[in-house]
Structure 1
Amino acid sequence: MIRILQLPLGPLQTNCYVLADLDTKQAAVIDPSWDGRAIAEQARQQGWTISHILLTHTHFDHVGGLAELKALSGAPIYVHPDATAMLSNAPRAAMIWGITIDPPPPPDVLLQGDETIQVGTLLLDVLYTPGHAPGHVCFHLAAEKVLFDGDVLFQDSIGRTDLPGGDYDLLLTSIRDKLLPLPDETAVLSGHGPATTIGDERRTNPFLT
């Protein structure tokens, strides 16, 4: 059995997700966007041990709580190698917006984009989905038909591509090649806003129809 906590955090209300395997009490934090202590406390209150920190990408609003969460949990940080430069630059990028974040620690595990990560008994497939940001990946929990997709696909929208490293055509290719083949009922848990499904976005998303 699984449980998923959605925590909109920080000045941009970026969704952080805590995915727990209730059988083993292990949990993965996906995109610790802000306030690592609050994220760790949520897990502690549930009796979960944070065993993984998974980054879809490294825009500053997705890693604002990373340093604190790493210090509190000791869990390894997983990120695609193409996202490491942006991770190092996150505090400077945040300053442009008048926001201060702690310097993020370096990653522990570099993802290639085609592997499977095990959290307790749960298996997350890593999908390489660049376009919104360099080294962007999604995490697909196929058995439960759940996709943690960062800032690739939103309800009736797609990720912006006007930031450094963005590429509109590449983003659409990632969506069409990696996300749209998933089952219609797959829940899409995005970095901002409400959940949607692959089927709904295939039918009604103005960027895809």
Structure 2
Amino acid sequence: MTIKTFVFSPFMENTYVAYDETKECIIIDPGCVTESEQKALQQFIADNQLSVKHLINTHLHLDHAFGNLFVERTYGVLAKAHKADEFLLQQIRSQAEMFGMVYNEQPELKEYLTEEDAVSFGNVTLTSIHVPGHSPGSLCFYDASSSVLFAGDVLFQGSIGRTDLPKGNYEQLIDGITDKLLVLPEETTVYCGHGPTTTIGYEKANNPYL
């Protein structure tokens, strides 16, 4: 599996395009909010002759869902995320205004994912892991064959997701990371929602929250 990382919006959010030799791909957390960011994503997909099979969100805070409508309309795929985060889409316009941003449309969640659901493209299968706490519907996506975890804002290099946002829960987040993520192989590469990649082994040894 090959993974391309884009850093989009003033929130410096990581958007991922993952694909393999079949040229089928998946878009994870499209945070593209400007026309230039949308064009960058579209150009990469065109240049590599990729076929977009799925759009998935680790969670639905505005910085991770800005580009949902663009991806849906451009590639004819439906956004998939956990139902527990659906309420966040109803707040996306007001939340954007709080940060001095204009976002006039209202994304909708078209399909639901929950614990252990599988999303496949090419020869890759990602399995969803429900780790609430940063948001009630936060999902991580794990590919055992490649030892890769897309963690969203659940786990960062040396940190964890903030829990002071609506319906956040610190104890729930720590328990979920401990019980569901730290049990993965230590060599697992963690692709975070913001910032650099890390590994499960590094976080077990160095993360002060864990």
TM over 0.5: yes
CA contact (8 A) 1:55 1:79 kept: yes
Q: Match for residue 13 of structure 1?
A: 12
Name the TM-score, length of structure 1 as normaliser: 0.95
Q: CA deviation at 1:40?
A: 2.3
Aligned 1:168-183 pairs, distance under 5 A: 168-183=170-185
Q: Match for residue 65 of structure 1?
A: 67
Q: Match for residue 132 of structure 2?
A: 130
Deviations 1:44-69 (A, max 9, x none): 11110111001000110111111111
What percentage of residue pairs aligned between the two structures are identical? 38
State how far apart, in whole Å, the 1-side matches of 2:104 and 2:136 are. Answer: 21
Q: CA deviation at 1:100?
A: 2.1
CA contact (8 A) 1:37 1:72 kept: no
Equivalent position to 1:84, from 74, 83, 86: 86
Distance 1:104 1:121, change over 3 A: farther
Q: Match for residue 27 of structure 1?
A: 25
1:48 aligns with 2:47: no
Name the TM-score, length of structure 2 as normaliser: 0.94
State how far apart, in whole Å, the 2-side matches of 1:112 and 1:49 are. Answer: 25
State how far apart, in whole Å, the 2-side matches of 1:39 and 1:16 are. Answer: 9
CA contact (8 A) 1:53 1:77 kept: yes
- Matched to 2:4, the amino acid is L
Distance 1:119 1:104, change over 3 A: farther
Q: CA deviation at 1:87?
A: 1.8
Q: CA deviation at 1:102?
A: 4.6
Q: Match for residue 105 of structure 2?
A: 103
State how far apart, in whole Å, the 1-side matches of 2:135 and 2:60 are. Answer: 8
Q: CA deviation at 1:179?
A: 0.5
Q: CA deviation at 1:113?
A: 1.8
- Matched to 1:10, the amino acid is S
Q: CA deviation at 1:90?
A: 1.4
CA contact (8 A) 1:37 1:68 kept: no
Unmatched segments (≥5 aa) in structure 1:
none
1:151 aligns with 2:153: yes
Secondary structure of the corresponding residue to residue 143 of structure 1: coil
State how far apart, in whole Å, the 2-side matches of 1:43 and 1:7 are. Answer: 12
Q: CA deviation at 1:107?
A: 2.2
CA RMSD between the two structures: 1.2
Q: CA deviation at 1:39?
A: 1.6
State how far apart, in whole Å, the 1-side matches of 2:31 and 2:104 are. Answer: 12
Q: Which moved more, 1:136-145 or 1:87-96?
A: 87-96
CA contact (8 A) 1:8 1:15 kept: yes
